[in-house]
């Protein structure tokens, strides 16, 4: 099946009062695993690429410092990989840019074949955010591409975003933002946050989502809302990593029950990234525990050393870099490298499979 615009999925989710999980992926094997587990549950899949991950995909080790040219090269690589995978499946596949800040990069994604993009102008004053978002929406809609904006600022850390506190979305400005920008969906800030340290016993402000949605209904605005920073940070994964010599501290997520409670109020898309990283890291730490004779001079041995030296690390883009070419091709050069890639796929399937069921998207590929 070919790639489809994300709006097609979001409209169905709004009608059925369920949500689609949108999963951040960084490697070919993560793409493969995410599609396969969605096939199992007969659900469309939303694959998200965060802006700075494109630098990693292009081969830049310090990907946070990637140039625009390198990021665009990464866009071309991942678009080709996802298009190839989409042709082999019967489920709808969305390729979405998550947290695009550079408008030239966002436009490059649209030109290369992404079917959905997020332009994040949340760091700008309200009117400047509107102007930037409208520019991208006008450009994208001419090519049938879905556009997501953001209003309000989430706390936490995600690549280049690092905010100590939230700036909650004002529900009274949501309708104005939709009307002036023409976006298809809007990420709101209502107490979720990026990263694994979301705070113990966090309680999201569901009233913000409800009020935003009710205002939209009153104004007859046919858009949807998006919940960012919604990883649950399962306790069993944190404990499992720490038992395997990891050192994760203050790792707490958003209780899934709280997210599900607001899904009927316009939340049609729920972003998840950290949970996948946790599961992958747990599987890889287990692999090294059970395979103590890895050659220290091999590329897998280098991965082991990175993990040992940085017990707090869960970002697979960092520790998998020694076998970067295998990560991008999807096939290892040795048995051990293929074992590592299998760990990556298992981690994706463990998390994504759980959430597909909880979000209520099982069987929804039949709607398309």
pLDDT above 70 for 29: yes
Options 98, 120, 184, 275, the catalytic residue: 98
Question: What are the two backbone dihedrals, phi and then psi, of residue 37, each rounded to the nearest 5 degrees?
Answer: -70, -30
Alpha-helical segments (H) within 254-329? 256-262, 274-290, 299-309, 316-319, 324-329
Return the residue matching tokens 């993990």.
307
CB environment 280-294: b (16+ within 10 A), e (fewer) = bbbbbbbbbeeeeeb
Residue 157 pLDDT > 80: no
Residue 311 has pLDDT above 70, yes or no: yes
Q: How confident is the model at residue 199 (pLDDT cuts 50, 70, 90)?
A: low
Q: What is the pLDDT of residue 119?
A: 97
Query: What is the pLDDT at residue 163?
Result: 44
Per-residue model confidence (pLDDT) at position 20: 98
Rounded Cα–Cα distance for residues 335 and 347 (Å): 19
Rg, Å, the chain Cα set: 19
- Please compute the mean of the pLDDT values over residues 332-342 and round it to a whole number: 98
Give yes or no for residue 195 having a pLDDT over 60. no
What is the structure's pLDDT at 155?
Answer: 55
Indicate if the pLDDT at residue 197 is higher than 90.
no
Give the model confidence (pLDDT) of 284-296 as tens digits. Answer: 999 999 999 999 9
Residue 194 pLDDT class (50, 70, 90 cuts):
low
Confidence of residue 200 (pLDDT cuts 50, 70, 90): low
Q: Tell me the pLDDT band of 113, cut-offs 50, 70 and 90.
A: very high
Quick check: 233 and 156 in contact, CB under 8 A?
no
Q: Is the pLDDT of residue 348 over 80?
A: yes
Give the separation between CA 169 and CA 173, rounded to whole angstroms. 8
pLDDT at 312: 97
Residues 159, 239, 344, CA angle at the centre, nearest 5°? Answer: 55
C-beta contacts of 314-321 below 8 A and 24+ residues apart:
314/196, 314/241, 314/248, 314/274, 314/277, 314/278, 314/281, 315/277, 316/26, 316/27, 316/277, 316/280, 316/281, 316/284, 316/344, 317/26, 317/53, 317/56, 317/63, 319/284, 320/27, 320/344, 321/56, 321/61
Beta bridge partners, 47, equal 23, 95
Could you tell me which residues come within 8 angstroms of residue 26 by beta carbon, excluding any fewer than 6 positions away? 49, 53, 56, 57, 316, 317
Q: Check pLDDT > 70 for residue 18.
A: yes
| Residue 98 known to be catalytic | yes
**Residues 33-84 pLDDT 10s:** 999 999 999 999 999 999 989 999 999 999 999 999 999 999 999 999 999 9
pLDDT value, residue 162: 45
The rounded distance, in Å, linking the Cα atoms of 281 and 270 is: 22
**Percent above pLDDT 90 for the chain:** 87
Q: What is the pLDDT of residue 196?
A: 52
Residue from 166, 161, 247 nearest 202 by CA? 166
State the pLDDT confidence band at 204, using cuts at 50, 70 and 90: confident
Q: What percent of the chain has pLDDT over 70?
A: 93
């Amino acid at each position: 099946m070919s790639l489809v615009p994300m709006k097609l999925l979001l409209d169905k989710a709004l009608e059925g009062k369920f949500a689609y999980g949108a999963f951040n992926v960084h490697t070919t094997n993560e793409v493969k695993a995410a599609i396969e587990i969605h096939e199992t549950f007969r659900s469309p899949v939303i694959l998200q690429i965060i802006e700075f991950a494109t630098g990693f995909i292009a081969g830049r080790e310090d990907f946070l410092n990637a140039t625009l040219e390198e990021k665009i090269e990464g866009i071309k690589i991942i678009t080709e990989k996802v298009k190839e995978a989409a042709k082999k499946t019967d489920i709808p596949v969305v390729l979405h840019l998550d947290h695009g800040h550079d408008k030239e990069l966002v436009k490059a994604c649209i030109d290369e074949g992404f079917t959905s993009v997020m332009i994040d102008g949340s760091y700008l004053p309200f009117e400047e955010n509107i102007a930037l978002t409208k520019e991208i929406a006008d450009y994208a809609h001419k090519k049938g591409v879905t556009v997501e904006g953001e209003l309000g600022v989430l706390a936490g850390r995600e690549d280049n975003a690092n905010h100590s506190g939230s700036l909650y979305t004002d529900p009274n400005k949501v309708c104005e933002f939709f009307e002036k920008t023409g976006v298809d969906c809007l990420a709101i800030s209502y107490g979720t946050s990026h990263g694994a340290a979301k705070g113990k016993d966090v309680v999201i402000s569901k009233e913000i989502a409800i009020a935003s949605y009710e205002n939209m209904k009153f104004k007859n605005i046919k858009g949807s809302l998006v919940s960012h920073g919604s990883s649950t940070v399962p306790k069993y994964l944190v404990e499992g990593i720490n038992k395997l010599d990891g050192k994760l501290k203050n790792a707490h997520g958003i209780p899934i029950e709280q997210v599900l409670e607001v899904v009927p109020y316009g939340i049609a898309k729920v972003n998840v990234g950290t949970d996948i990283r946790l599961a992958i890291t747990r599987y890889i730490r287990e692999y090294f525990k059970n395979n103590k004779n890895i050659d220290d001079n091999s590329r897998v041995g280098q991965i082991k050393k990175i993990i040992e030296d940085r017990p707090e690390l869960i970002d697979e883009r960092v520790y998998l870099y020694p076998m970067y070419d295998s990560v991008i091709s999807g096939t290892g050069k040795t048995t051990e490298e293929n074992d590592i890639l299998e760990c990556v796929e298992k981690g994706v399937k463990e998390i994504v499979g759980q959430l597909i069921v909880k979000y209520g998207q099982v069987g929804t590929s039949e709607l398309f």
